[in-house]
Structure 1
Amino acid sequence: MISPIATLIVGAGPFGLGLASYLQRRRHDYRLVGKPLEFWERHMPRGMLLRSSANWYLDPDHEWTIERFFAQHHPDRAPAEPISREQYLAYMSWFMQQSEIGAQPHYVRHLTRNGTAFTAELENGETIRARNVVLATGFRDFACYPAGLVARLPEGRYQHTCDAVNLDLYRGKRVLLIGGRQSAFETAALLCEAEAAHVHLSYRHDTPRFVEADWSWVETIVEQMASHPAWFRELTPEQQEAYRHKLWAEGRLKLEPWLESRICRDEVTLHPRTEVASVTRKPDDSLLVTLTDEETFVVDDIILATGYQVDIKRLPFLSEALQEAVAVRNGFPLLDVHFQSTVPGLYFSSFPAGQSFGPFFGFTVAVRTAAKLIGEAVC
């Protein structure tokens, strides 16, 4: 049976939920498909702390905020206390309830365009036809496995951080973490707290400073873009690159101070300004690691904290015709000021919007602006 609707939202993470709330309040004919909060529940480790503040709430109408959630459910929480993954999951569930958002917990198996409408085939066999489709699928399909690095690693002996989330499995083990951003250092701290025997971190740059990141300027930019969505694309290429570097520096050159005491311990060895030169499997199935500074050590497992890289061809459900029809640059879809791609009616939100709207849209700080601009276009 084919169900005709106005707008189909694919992805039930923060960006999908924010847009669904906007459309729900305006009684727009939409459906949200995807497994709610799945990436946060299944691909982020227990005990993780967010770098974002309570200002990064999801409601584009500013009613169901994180502060309101904390006031109701955690009234004794200190304002400066970092938000945990568990608290944020609870907030998102509460937000869905308050906004009366329902999601159909199935993946899209295949998405095609027929004439002026889209046809989505779900994994449960249902078919949905929609005038508009908004892809808010987040990060999962864009996990980065650098080809040169992976070529030096034994097959089957490494995982990306988005899959290495049950850190109890590393109890008593020696682990190499490759990467030098906040996620790598926090994973190292969580591994130690899960009683890993030893954790090595290898990264190509100097060790970041333990200094609180300042995201206030990002919040201001993203909020203003709700009324001036062309702001980033109107900048010169040099200005755009300067903002990318500023955001990169905020996230890459700083580590949150609450990590310092958890990292500066005997069980953690830092290897700044290094890369993995080789990894050799030993007779006892352990791994002999050699770094570019010629230091060697033995580990049992390797985790890649190598981030994410957008390439829309990695979205498994997009038909070949749609992939070919969407204009891209550096793997990102090129979008108009309402997040619409070069395929009329096909919108991209979240991380893939970064080429056209700036790198800020890979963070939940941009949920409300994206919801407002897309919502205005489809309503």
Structure 2
Amino acid sequence: MYDLLVVGAGPYGLSIASHAAAAGLNVRVFGRPMASWRDHMPRGMFLKSEPWASNLSDPRGRLRLDVYCAGQGVRARHGEPIPVGMFAEYGLWFARHGAPGVDERTVARIGTVPGGFEAVTEDGETLHARTVALAVGVMPFTEIPAALGGLGPSLVSHSSDHGDLARFAGRDVTVIGGGQAALETAALLAEQGTRVRVLARADRLNWNDVPPPWERPWWRAARSPHSGLGPGWRNWFYAERPGVFRRLPERTRAGVAATALGPAGAWWVRDRVEPAVEVLLGHEVTAAEAAGDGVRLRTLSRTGERGALETGHVIAATGFRPARERLALLADEMRDGLAEAPDGSPRVGRDFESSVPGLFLAGLVTAAGFGPAMRFVHGASFTAGTLVRGVRRRLRTGTGGGRIPAPADRSDEAASAPAAR
């Protein structure tokens, strides 16, 4: 029986596992390492965040992205984006050197039992743990507008569905959204010969500025400090003080999490979009229907003008909604027992523990509690250390109902767990 079962092996899951193993916990990690980055982002994409703000977290702070890059003969520089493929390889390197061995199977179901939790893997193995940390990333929370509902994946997909955009070469594609995912996807499509347009509700596109130099006069730094979410005091607060952010009134937190750092394109993608991509601003899709081999979109402008356009495929780069009901791997009664924040996400306490004792949450699903940093890799460091302290506190106090005896046919389960290193 395990002290902690970590479900998910992305930046948050691997960071939590590293801190848990260093704390002496008997921990098991499940999931395909860096799956979102390896399987759901096309080749040619770059990290939007700065390299120094994109570290996974080990307790000693030695397994940073710049250390990995240096080992590959690459210098991670402020103001120079890192390819997503290199970041994914960094995560695999971190998993090898900083976390206990990762079991790449998927956990299909988690339920409560007296004293803890029972998890069932995709191939039917049952495991028990006193605590669980869900670090499932963003993929369970993909959001596609209701107007596009009813059309199959050959006509409509989410931007995160594509690890390769080659299938769209020579075709006509409409990308819906005005943020980084929409704009970088459109740029990649245009660069491979796809006829592509971006359709967005906003009246204009927002572009992030080139970041100020790392070294600058003290008075400029004091006016607009660097932070893991961009320059400025407001971003610094979100990035560097999530524990203080949690003390704000709940509705204030939820409102900030939903609106702060809204849709914007990175400065380095702007020159790839503006000359090559048609942009239709101030338009919202109200309905969609199959038309021949493609899709007919019905649109409504901000001025009330109705229109229509036909396209071969629609890619919805419309973000993610971390709603409680989308945690489908939790048993129904367990999921229904999660208290909700005002935005419909699960409510978490000061140590990332949910209202189900012993169930901890990490990543995007905790943004309403700890702020916008939880939407980015940068939040993994604060989360890992804080969450593992909460797990240790929970293990000391118990989850109620006593300990779970090891199943008779798996009495060697703990002994055979991968050793922490």
TM (normalized to structure 1)? 0.89
Q: Indicate whether 1:318 and 2:322 are aligned.
A: no
Question: Retained in 2: the 8 A contact 1:60–1:369?
Answer: no
Structure 2 vs 1, CA of residues 129 and 280 (structure 1 numbering), >3 Å: closer, same or farther? closer
In the other structure, the counterpart of 1:348 is 361
Amino acid at match of 2:137: G
Q: Give CA deviations for 1:291-327 in whole Å, capped at 9, x if unaligned.
A: 3244544321111111100112222211011012211
In 2: Cα distance, 1:286 partner to 1:243 partner:
38
* Match for residue 272 of structure 1 among 271, 278, 281: 281
- Asked if 1:260 corresponds to 2:258, the answer is no
Q: Sort the Cα spacing of 1:346 and 1:277 in 2 relative to 1 into closer, same or farther, 3 A.
A: closer
Listed one character per residue, the Cα deviations across residues 243-266 of structure 1 (whole Å, up to 9, x for unaligned) are: 4477234xx2x3212112211224
Change (3 A) 1:297 1:333: closer
Residues 1-379 of structure 1 mapped to structure 2, 5 A cutoff: 4-54=1-51, 55-61=53-59, 62-76=61-75, 78-147=77-146, 149-151=147-149, 156-196=154-194, 198-212=195-209, 215-216=230-231, 217=233, 218=235, 221-225=238-242, 229=243, 231-236=244-249, 240=253, 243-244=256-257, 247-249=260-262, 252=263, 254-266=264-276, 268-283=277-292, 285-292=293-300, 293-329=305-341, 330-379=343-392
CA distance, structure 1, for counterparts of residue 37 and residue 87 of structure 2? 9
SS at match of 1:210: coil
> How far apart are residue 43 of structure 1 and its match?
1.2
Contact 2:351 2:387 in 1 (8 A): yes
The change in CA–CA distance for 1:118 and 1:375 in structure 2 (over 3 A counts) is: same
Separation in structure 2 between the aligned mates of residue 97 and residue 152 of structure 1, nearest angstrom: 42
> 1:17 deviation in Å?
0.4
- Could you tell me how far 1:287 is from its partner in structure 2? 3.2
Unaligned 5+ segments in structure 1 are: none
8 Å CA contact 2:134, 2:361 repeated in 1:
yes
Q: Deviations over 1:22-50 (max 9, x none)?
A: 11222211100111111111111111111
SS at the partner of 1:49? Answer: coil
1:129-186 CA-to-partner distances (Å, cap 9, x unmatched) read 1110000001111001222x22486785100111133210000001111111111011
CA distance in 2, matches of 1:246, 1:145: 18
- Secondary structure, aligned partner of 2:175: strand
Give the C-alpha shift of residue 90 in structure 1: 1.4
- Distance, in Å, in 2 between the alignment partners of 1:186 and 1:131 is 42
The residue matched to 2:278 in structure 1 has which SS?
Answer: strand
How far residue 355 of structure 1 moved from its aligned partner, in angstroms, is 1.8
**Residues in 2 aligned to 1:278 and 1:317: alpha-carbon distance in whole angstroms:** 31
Give 1:219 deviation, angstroms.
5.2
Q: Partners in 2 of 1:156 and 1:75 — Cα distance?
A: 39
Tell me the TM-score normalised to structure 2 length. 0.81
For the residue of structure 2 that corresponds to 1:130, the secondary structure is strand
Any conservation in 2 of the 1:132–1:378 contact (CA below 8 Å)? Answer: yes
Taking a change above 3 Å as real, the CA distance of residues 219 and 53 of structure 1, as seen in their structure-2 partners, is farther
- Give how far 1:7 is off: 0.6
Which amino acid in 2 is paired with 1:258? W
Task: Extract unaligned runs of 5+ from structure 2.
Answer: 212-228, 393-421
Q: Deviations over 1:101-138 (max 9, x none)?
A: 31111111211111121000111222111110000001
**Cα distance in 2 between the residues matched to 1:289 and 1:271:** 13
| Identity in percent | 28
Q: Is the 8 A contact 2:6 2:13 kept in 1?
A: yes
Structure 1 pair 215–359 and aligned structure 2 pair: CA distance change class (3 A): same
Query: What SS does structure 2 have at the residue aligned with 1:24?
Result: helix
Q: Is the 8 A contact 1:313 1:323 kept in 2?
A: yes
Paired residue secondary structure (2:102): coil
Q: Which secondary structure state, in structure 2, belongs to the residue aligned with residue 184 of structure 1?
A: helix
CA distance in 1, matches of 2:186, 2:116: 47
SS, match of residue 333 in structure 1: coil
In structure 2, relative to structure 1, the CA distance for the partners of 1:121 and 1:53 (3 Å cut) is same
CA distance in 1, matches of 2:27, 2:16: 10
Separation (CA, whole Å) in 2 of partners of 1:111 and 1:279: 37
Alignment length, in residue pairs? 365
Structural RMSD (CA)? 2.2
Counterpart amino acid of 1:274? H
Tell me, in whole angstroms, the C-alpha distance in 1 between the residues paired with 2:84 and 2:131: 32
Q: By how many angstroms is 1:288 displaced?
A: 3.6
